[in-house]
Chain A
Amino acid sequence: MSTSTPAILEMVEIEKHFGAVIALAGVSIAVYPGECHCLLGDNGAGKSTFIKTMSGVHKPTKGKMLISGKEVTFQSPRDAMEAGIATVYQDLAMIPLMSVTRNFWMGREPRKGIWPFKSLDFDKANAVTMTEMSKMGINLREPNQAVGTLSGGERQTVAIARAVYFGAKVLILDEPTSALGVRQTSNVLATIDKVRKSGIGVVFITHNVRHALAVGDRFTVLNRGRTLGTALKGEIRADELQDLMAGGRELADLSASLGGTI
């Protein structure tokens, strides 16, 4: 596996134990700029634990994390955010009754004026929100539109656009397509493609092989807290990925198809 560009984020032999339960037993992946790294696995495979380790929610029991080649340890999700790792969770962190602009800037509101009369800079906030959303291919009716009036796919896009605008280098998407219809799914996949092309490393968690193959550059399958290595696009077929997720039929067989990276 050789790439000219170095990895932005490397997870090396990550182990995570919860008491006697070994949730992760040595998982390694590398995320490269401008690539979409798909993390596949069935329920309980350890996907959630793994991304929570990446985003600073859990501290790994063993193993190390490297960002642009330098080892880091995160004490909190805030540390990870500051290091450029943004996570869009399934439950989205969007507030339906608030406007798109208010959601987009939540926690990082731009302000103008002099204390004690500092107010929100709505002109800037609205303008940036509209531009960032149209970059993602969504034309908002108006920035004051409540997020609750958007479709599920559009909400995902707001969350993604927000992460990108605030300087994410690695964008982790936790099953962004699992609750969406066909049309909305393809919109989200198109958004992932746009984000990747802007040079951000995307980690796309899914258990849908077709969605993964549509946008993925690399594929890592998690199974019972272990990984069977990473395959590049074109090296692996849909049915092989499916088998790996289901538990693996014959390891020897699969080892060959993965290009001996186990």
Chain B
Amino acid sequence: MSTPQASPPPSASATDERIAKVSFFKSILQRPEVGAIAGLIAIVLFFAIYADASMFSLAGFMNFMQPAAQLGILAVAAALLMVGGEFDLSIGSMIAFAGIALGIPLVLWGWPLGVSILFAFAVSIAFGAINGFIVLRSGLPSFIVTLAFLFILRGLTLVSLKLATGTTQLRGIPEAAGDSWLVEIFSGNAFEGLFAWLASMGLIETFKNGAPKVQGVPVEIIWFVILAIAASWLLNKTRFGNWIFAAGGDPNAARNVGVPVARVKIMLFIFTAMAATLVAIITVLQFGTADASRGLLKEFHAIIAAVIGGCLLTGGYGSAIGAMIGAVIFGMVQIGITYTNINQDWFQVFMGAILLIAVLLNNWVRRQAMSSR
């Protein structure tokens, strides 16, 4: 048997002269967050020029970070799901539904707060799993399936509240919750002692009576930051994260090499539903009511934040930190506009424009990243 006439193999030297060093600029451009960071800088510059200086004081910072954090908890979860190749349009309705799944047992059935919170999570986990199960079993786009649940959950919330209370709002949460330590975890401020100390040292602004103007960090900001860091670690550093990218990038290819695509996606649907429940608990305790109209349009805001953060609508690409920045941009524009002379009605115009610019920029960036050599 003679040797085959294969072409000579290319030299396998350790260094290859054909391979140029990747420029620093290009390696930066390959990060999905790059658009969001550029956007954040632009927004900060804009408000630095046009907004009242108090926007960037400590109080002003907490002011825009609070709504940013509530949205960000959703956006981070929505980002993971989008990287996994699916959407969940039912998270806004899930906020209202989980709110009554917490409020009704707590106020009307007299359950303790801890048990009511567990019940709310159990309900949302069940609906998240149902969403995922229907999407994967039917092969229908998650856009349609979860759009159905957007209406189903909103309707169920309204029906249940009307049946239980005769109105669209459930009051009496603070009285029923009492002073459980769980109230501290899900509402109010953290690090109050630290802020009081800082005030006494004269390091932060105080009122005339010596109390700090900002009493602490609103807990949702803590939840938001922890969640974003954990989600980012999960996505970028773990095996499950690799499976999320794989499931969103090409589910067939992923299945062929043994990635449990269905399990990954169902877990992501459950995770988004749980994030909506976390926001529900925070808002219910914050306002002292469960309301049928809570969380309206939040599903779209979360998707906007995720897309500004660099998530591809087609899946397989994106970042949790990007979604975090996207949510901060959202909060800054929403609240920052009140610090300017611009009419607040312009907010939606701004957000739409930012979304459009972000998508165009991300599209261009990705083409740059994918252009070989």
Contacts and interface: CB of A to CB of B under 8 A. Distances in A.
Interface of A: 36, 77-78, 81, 89, 91-98, 102, 105-109, 111, 118-120, 122, 134-135, 137-139, 141-142, 146, 148-151, 186-187, 189-190, 192-194, 213-217, 232-234
A118 B239 contact: yes
Contact of A94 (B2, B30, B253, B366): B253
B193 interface: no
- Interface range on chain B (Cβ under 8 Å from partner): 35 or more
Given A77-B256, A146-B369, A141 B12 contact: no
Contacts of A134: 12, 14
B41 interface: no
B239 A146 contact: no
Contacts of B8: 190
Nearest to B15: A139
B44 to A, nearest CB: 30
B372 A151 contact: yes
Interface of B: 1-2, 4-16, 19, 22, 30, 233, 237-239, 241-242, 245-246, 249-250, 252-254, 256-259, 312, 316-317, 366, 369-373
A108 B22 contact: no
A243 B238 CA distance: 53
B156 to A, nearest CB: 34
B238 A120 contact: yes
A149 B371 CA distance: 6
B373 A149 contact: yes
Nearest to B249: A95
Most buried by A among B4, B16, B22, B369: B4
Contacts of B13: 139
A98 B6 contact: no
A38 B281 CA distance: 64
A135 B14 CA distance: 10
Nearest to A139: B16
Given A139-B15, A146-B369, A120 B4 contact: no
A105 B233 CA distance: 18
